[in-house]
A and B are shown apart, each in its own frame.
Chain A
């Protein structure tokens, strides 16, 4: 049973991490709590489905168009609705929630409320220590690691990454040093949505698609970033794996209560916050915030 708990925990944690990184990044830089974050993940998944299943494009072409299309939708949403009120956090919160609802309703109109499955990149499964792991899951895990490495290189090895990190540390000083803060915020938003869209493209074949599919991951993402410390990428990754393992433990140790795995994740988050209100890495890694 231990190996099953470990493998399931790693798979859950990897998926949560991929979703949480972008959310955390945009909060760290632009102080935007983007409640539409997982809505863009949903949009990417639906575009992939539409282009592959309905139009008949090859899967990798469909995935590329889905990434671009969803990111563009996010950038347009940001430029049109969010940028002008970026300093008003509550307004931004409400606008992003509204944007997510609008996107959800649009999907209801165009695709209806029936459940849909996105195509698998790699069908079949491998047996690891007696646990059957679909190739799609392994592919997703590799993709997560690659996405993390690319994001890290972008942030630490490019001038734009330096500007993003500087803005995250202190927006006023970054502005005084000649950085165009609104542009940096917009680019960060685009990167965040690109990561979310990437998660959508990778995860859509694993999960089931329907127009309210953004809500549950949003809850998990919020729990992960609060647990890890808002704005901390390292915290998000650690938080994702803590919750991933918590869910895995519930399913294996309390099978009759496996519907409570979401609630138990929240309970873990609350317990950590009671002991450490700033989250796991909120203060200790303040200086290392991206």
Chain B
């Protein structure tokens, strides 16, 4: 008798559940007017290495965008304004790919997030992309620039179509960097009466390998001799020996590609020892506001690359910089800019789709044409941003000049050579 009652109860519950799922009468084909009652929040995971500046800035950028969007009422989805709810996920991706995968899966299954802004370190980004796409979650890249990510979209569109990269790729970055490092700087040195000779200085990584391969070709075109290649560890905190060897080899350009504390060490020790060469190339840390303090000001005249500098690179650059600085007390960097940009790209796509359905949002992203802080953002068939300079200004050469990080290519402020370098080579 008891089992019969339980069976009946279960049947009633099942019927009730089915009844709830019965489609309501078809809505009117016209778009309903926005209601004043806010809808349920849209949950966006800001997933990154939150103990490190990469993740911390990713969060700050996304938070600023979320605050702005929510202050304006939220994201308009099918006539209802829905607030944005950010979910902060520390995925520890800089040190563990496994942690990155597990954190992504947990955010989907436990936190029930709708969208992802994630993927900074390349190997972790591949794993994060796999997990998010297998759950059909739209994921916007937070920083990884390797081409393998977008190649996956080409190779297996149905699986990976949920992934988009609204920022520059390594190919684009290398085009900008080689133009400046391998052509503009050598010409500037010749103008100053200094023979350009380059030293390649960077950790053993895929990013540095690609940058050096491109640099070798371009230096050859410009007639610049490469005096040697030094590859310290990414975790090196003392590179004086390498810098001494570079000086002994007679280099006048140090093309360094660094992604860790070696970037801080290289800048500080280069300035401290007054190595008579221009320090250029890319360093993940040199674009940070704290870099000046971390190097005790020895990074003066150091050149690096980033997605943003203080100046009129696009009409939105300076206002964004000022809003960010006012809200956080810090300068924006590439990670904060890209997370901020990702948030608005997502907003535009959701509003265009009129839904949070991932397939509809993917379609909207593929047709997106949005004027962002970096310039015009549209996506190519491989879901990389269309990087047609000067409509898209996604990678900028920046130079430290007396405590300020200013754009020197595209030129907002003229490039300056280190004065000790000019004095040394004139004396020689």
Chain B CB within 10 Å, residue with most, of A132, A216, A259: A259
Which one of A125, A248, A259 contacts B203 once the chains associate, using CB atoms below 8 Å? A259
Chain B residues, Cβ within 8 Å of A8 = 240-241, 244
Q: Are A259 and B232 in contact (CB under 8 A)?
A: yes
Complex: chain B residue closest to A131, CB-CB: B244
Q: Are B238 and A206 in contact (CB under 8 A)?
A: yes
Q: Which residues in chain B, 289-309, are within 8 Å of chain A measured between CB atoms?
A: 290, 293-296
Q: Are A258 and B232 in contact (CB under 8 A)?
A: yes
The reply on B184 being an interface residue by CB < 8 A is no
Chain A residues, Cβ within 8 Å of B272 = 120, 123, 125, 134
The reply on A277 being an interface residue by CB < 8 A is no
One digit per residue, 1 when the CB lies within 8 angstroms of any chain A CB and 0 when it does not, for chain B 237-274 equals: 11011101101100000000000010011001000111
The reply on B230 being an interface residue by CB < 8 A is yes
Complex: chain A residue closest to B246, CB-CB: A255
The reply on A31 being an interface residue by CB < 8 A is no
Which one of A115, A134, A259 contacts B294 once the chains associate, using CB atoms below 8 Å? A115
Chain B residues, Cβ within 8 Å of A261 = 232-233
With known contacts A132-B244, A207-B237, A208-B261, A116–B231 Cβ distance under 8 A: no
The answer for the CA separation of A206 and B228 in the assembled complex, in Å, is 25
One digit per residue, 1 when the CB lies within 8 angstroms of any chain B CB and 0 when it does not, for chain A 222-252 equals: 0000000000000000000000000110011
Chain B residues, Cβ within 8 Å of A116 = 290, 293-294
A250 to chain B, nearest CB (A): 9
With known contacts A53-B293, A256-B229, A117–B242 Cβ distance under 8 A: no
Complex: chain B residue closest to A136, CB-CB: B272
With known contacts A208-B265, A251-B230, A259-B231, A115–B290 Cβ distance under 8 A: yes
A5 to chain B, nearest CB (A): 9
Chain A CB within 10 Å, residue with most, of B51, B240, B242, B288: B240
Q: Are A114 and B296 in contact (CB under 8 A)?
A: no
The answer for the CA separation of A216 and B294 in the assembled complex, in Å, is 20
Complex: chain A residue closest to B199, CB-CB: A255
The answer for the CA separation of A161 and B248 in the assembled complex, in Å, is 47
A41 to chain B, nearest CB (A): 12
Q: Are B264 and A125 in contact (CB under 8 A)?
A: no
One digit per residue, 1 when the CB lies within 8 angstroms of any chain B CB and 0 when it does not, for chain A 19-30 equals: 000000000000
The reply on B53 being an interface residue by CB < 8 A is yes
One digit per residue, 1 when the CB lies within 8 angstroms of any chain B CB and 0 when it does not, for chain A 169-211 equals: 0000000000000000000000000000000000000111010
Q: Are B229 and A255 in contact (CB under 8 A)?
A: yes
The answer for the CA separation of A15 and B244 in the assembled complex, in Å, is 18
The answer for the CA separation of A239 and B272 in the assembled complex, in Å, is 29
Complex: chain B residue closest to A252, CB-CB: B245
Chain A residues, Cβ within 8 Å of B229 = 255-256
The reply on A1 being an interface residue by CB < 8 A is yes
B227 to chain A, nearest CB (A): 10
B79 to chain A, nearest CB (A): 43
Q: Are A134 and B241 in contact (CB under 8 A)?
A: no
Q: Are A255 and B231 in contact (CB under 8 A)?
A: yes
Q: Are A114 and B294 in contact (CB under 8 A)?
A: yes
The answer for the CA separation of A123 and B247 in the assembled complex, in Å, is 20
Chain A residues, Cβ within 8 Å of B240 = 8, 11, 134, 137
Interface size on B, residues (CB 8 A): 40
A246 to chain B, nearest CB (A): 12
The reply on A273 being an interface residue by CB < 8 A is no
Which one of A11, A125, A251, A259 contacts B273 once the chains associate, using CB atoms below 8 Å? A125
The answer for the CA separation of A137 and B238 in the assembled complex, in Å, is 12
The answer for the CA separation of A252 and B244 in the assembled complex, in Å, is 9
The reply on A4 being an interface residue by CB < 8 A is yes
The answer for the CA separation of A261 and B273 in the assembled complex, in Å, is 22
Chain A residues, Cβ within 8 Å of B49 = 113
Chain B residues, Cβ within 8 Å of A251 = 230, 232, 241-242, 245
The answer for the CA separation of A120 and B293 in the assembled complex, in Å, is 12
Complex: chain B residue closest to A12, CB-CB: B241
With known contacts A108-B51, A255-B230, A207–B245 Cβ distance under 8 A: no
The answer for the CA separation of A134 and B268 in the assembled complex, in Å, is 12
The reply on B56 being an interface residue by CB < 8 A is yes
Q: Are B296 and A120 in contact (CB under 8 A)?
A: yes
Q: Are A4 and B230 in contact (CB under 8 A)?
A: no
Q: Are B52 and A208 in contact (CB under 8 A)?
A: no
The reply on B285 being an interface residue by CB < 8 A is yes
The reply on B367 being an interface residue by CB < 8 A is no
Complex: chain B residue closest to A53, CB-CB: B293
Q: Are B288 and A114 in contact (CB under 8 A)?
A: yes
Complex: chain B residue closest to A124, CB-CB: B272
The reply on A119 being an interface residue by CB < 8 A is yes
The answer for the CA separation of A216 and B238 in the assembled complex, in Å, is 12
Complex: chain B residue closest to A4, CB-CB: B244
Chain A residues, Cβ within 8 Å of B106 = none
Which B residues lie at the A interface, using CB under 8 A?
49, 51-53, 56, 203-204, 228-238, 240-242, 244-245, 247-248, 261, 264-265, 268, 272-275, 285, 288, 290, 293-296
Which A residues lie at the B interface, using CB under 8 A?
1, 4, 8, 11-12, 53, 108, 112-117, 119-120, 123, 125, 130-132, 134, 137, 206-208, 210, 213, 216, 247-248, 251-252, 255-259, 261-262
Q: Closest 4 A-B residue pairs measured CB to CB?
A: A113-B52, A207-B237, A251-B241, A259-B233
Could you list 9 A-B pairs, sorted by A, with CB under 8 Å? A132-B273, A132-B274, A251-B241, A251-B242, A255-B231, A257-B231, A258-B242, A259-B203, A259-B234
